[in-house]
């Protein structure tokens, strides 16, 4: 029996999924029958009782959540195993998500502008810099309140994918 702790992005409640076998599972102690066939690493046919879901799951690097795609609607959940929950508890991380301290370039391109200075405190949603790629200007925004520790690039410098742009405090 495997136990997983699931939290919907928009909810504070943690649900408990137990996988008893390849036919039986439970959600918060409510047992049900299921059947699952993986088409590939991300896509599966999942049947619960007789309900059919042809769905895909992918790891969202940005949010550290799982994106569950059912009929092109995306449900975001965090999913932690028992072991991970134990580690979380010991390290005092309650949400289970790592706080990212570096921002990397999502794609190759050119830095068109930088809107912040080192040492500056910025708010969630603030535009940090603008990256031009694929003929579009893409704003790189802060995903949380933070302080800029180090800027690793200059305006008009061209960057590769995954190149380190900024270190946060």
Partner 1 sequence: MFSKILIANRGEIAVRIITSAKEMGIKTVAVYSDFDRYSLFTKLADECYYIGESPSSKSYLLADKIIEAANKSSAEAIHPGYGFLSERSFFAKMCKESGIKFIGPGHEAIELLGSKIDAKTLALKNKVPVVPGTDGPLQDLKEIKKTAKEIGYPVLIKASAGGGGKGMRVVMDEDGIESSLRATQSEALSSFGDDSVFIEKYIASPRHIEFQILADEYGNVIHLGERECSMQRRHQKIIEETPSVIIDSDLRNKMGESAKRIVKAAGYSNAGTVEFIVDKNRNFYFLEVNTRLQVEHPITEIRTGIDLVREQLKIASGERLSFRQEDIKFSGHTIECRICAEDSENNFMPSTGKISYMNKFLGSGMREDTGVEQGDEISIYYDPMISKLISHGADREIAVSKMKRALKEYRIEGISTNISFLLSLLESEEFKRGEYHTQFIEKEFLNRHLKTTPDGELKTAVSLAAALFKENKKPKIKLNTGVNGHVKSNWVNKRFENYR
Residues forming contacts to partner 1 in the complex (CB under 8 A) are: 1-2, 4, 6, 8-11, 15, 17, 19, 21-23, 25, 27, 32, 34, 36-48, 50-58, 62, 66, 68-75, 77, 79, 81, 83, 106-109, 133-136, 138-139, 141, 161
Between CA 108 and CA 36 the distance in angstroms is: 38
Q: Is the dihedral of CA 7, 10, 13, 19 positive or negative?
A: negative
Residue nearer to partner 1 on the CB measure, 59 or 118: 59
Residue nearer to partner 1 on the CB measure, 46 or 167: 46
Q: What are residue 86's phi and psi, to 5 degrees?
A: -60, -45
Residue nearer to partner 1 on the CB measure, 128 or 168: 128
Q: What are residue 123's phi and psi, to 5 degrees?
A: -100, 160
Residue nearer to partner 1 on the CB measure, 74 or 164: 74
Tell the smallest beta-carbon distance from residue 114 to partner 1 (Å). Answer: 16
In 3-state terms, what secondary structure has residue 117?
Answer: coil
Tell the smallest beta-carbon distance from residue 8 to partner 1 (Å). Answer: 6
Tell the smallest beta-carbon distance from residue 109 to partner 1 (Å). Answer: 7
Q: Is the dihedral of CA 61, 66, 72, 75 positive or negative?
A: negative
Listing DSSP states for 41-55 in one string gives SSEEEEEETTEEEEE
Tell the smallest beta-carbon distance from residue 127 to partner 1 (Å). Answer: 9
Tell the smallest beta-carbon distance from residue 167 to partner 1 (Å). Answer: 20
Residue nearer to partner 1 on the CB measure, 119 or 125: 125
- Taking alpha carbons only, the member of 62, 66, 53, 55 closest to residue 7 is 66
């Amino acid at each position: 029996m495997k136990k997983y702790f699931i939290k919907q992005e928009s909810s504070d409640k943690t649900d408990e999924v137990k996988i008893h076998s390849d036919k039986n599972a439970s959600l918060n102690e409510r047992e049900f029958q299921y059947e699952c066939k993986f088409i590939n690493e991300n896509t599966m046919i999942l049947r619960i009782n007789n309900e059919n879901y042809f769905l895909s799951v992918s790891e969202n690097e940005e949010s550290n959540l799982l994106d569950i795609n059912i009929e092109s609607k995306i449900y975001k959940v965090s999913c932690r195993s028992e072991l991970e929950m134990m580690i979380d508890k010991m390290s005092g991380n309650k949400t289970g998500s790592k706080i990212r301290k570096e921002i990397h370039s999502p794609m190759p391109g050119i830095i068109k502008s930088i809107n912040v200075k080192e040492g500056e405190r910025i708010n969630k949603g603030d535009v940090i810099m603008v990256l031009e790629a694929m003929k579009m200007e893409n704003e790189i925004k802060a995903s949380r309140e933070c302080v800029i520790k180090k800027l690793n690039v200059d305006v008009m410098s061209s960057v590769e994918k995954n190149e380190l742009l900024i270190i946060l405090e």
